[in-house]
Amino acid sequence: MLKVSGMSVRYDSVIVALNGIDFEAAEGRVVALLGPNGAGKSTLLKAVAGMLPFEQGDISDGRVAFNGASLSGKPPAAITRSGIALVQDGRQCFRNLTVGENLRAASFRHPNGSSARLDLVLSYFPILEEFLDRQAGLLSGGQLQMLVIGMALMLQPRLLMLDEPSLGLSPVMVQSVFEIVERLHRDLGMTVIVAEQTVPRLMQIADDVYVLSRGRVALHAPPGDINEERLQRLYLS
């Protein structure tokens, strides 16, 4: 479904963040994208979503194809419309708007069927229904994470990319977030890419694992081949 070939990315024309990456996500799979700080995980997701120009980043080599069509040079809105949603790290939303307003704002470019999508989102995140009229800035970290994933679902993506969703969450909250990812995959057949540093729960639901290190793919293997010790060795190398 997603095919990244030989991709290199630079920031400010000089900082090489990715160096000849090959990466694939097959339809209906959950793909874990692991790697230590600065490995290039967020850069890869932003490159796919067309977000690099906002950070003076550019794809200096290689290509990205989604269902066989090139995404090169497309703006983020067009990429979103083609069925890709990225939940960036940092839980970005409109903190002074309510939960309901954020969910509706997320689908302003795709108004058709948005009330049915809102019902679907609320069925996955019942907590958001309780807080529909509450200001987003008053939510806890875990609740905010659910909101931003809910906002991505308002776009009805075929490929959902999550950048470090577990960051700063309690272990119970991490479990809840990954349970929802598993349900999205199981019930809706959604293809999901999750970038994380290391989460044992992610290894239980992933079909495929890529480990990045210093802008290169250091390992591509099934989750059964990955353990904490092997990851530590790669991260320290």
Ligand X SMILES: Nc1ncnc2c1ncn2[C@@H]1O[C@H](COP(=O)(O)OP(=O)(O)OP(=O)(O)O)[C@@H](O)[C@H]1O
CB nearer to Mg ion: pick between 41 and 91: 41
What are the backbone dihedrals phi and psi of residue 58, each rounded to the nearest 5 degrees, phi first? Answer: -150, 155
Nearest CA to 128 among 155, 161, 153, 160? 153
What are the residues whose beta carbons fall under 8 Å from the beta carbon of 129, sequence distance 6 or more? 122
Least distance from C-beta 119 to Mg ion, angstroms?
Answer: 32
Site for ligand X contains 55 (CB under 6 A): yes
Q: Which of 2, 32, 35, 153 binds ligand X (CB under 6 A)?
A: 35
Which residues in this chain contact Mg ion in the complex, by CB under 5 A?
41-42
The one of ligand X, Mg ion, none whose footprint includes residue 39, by CB under 5 to 8 A per kind, is ligand X
Residue type, 221: A
Least distance from C-beta 45 to Mg ion, angstroms?
Answer: 8
Mark residues 181-210: x for contact with ligand X by CB under 6 A, - for none.
----------------x-------------
The one of ligand X, Mg ion, none whose footprint includes residue 38, by CB under 5 to 8 A per kind, is ligand X
Cβ–Cβ contacts within 10 Å for residue 66, how many?
A: 20
Q: Please, are residues 135 and 94 in contact by the beta-carbon 8 Å criterion?
A: no
Tokens 């692991």, residue located: 34
Site for ligand X contains 90 (CB under 6 A): no
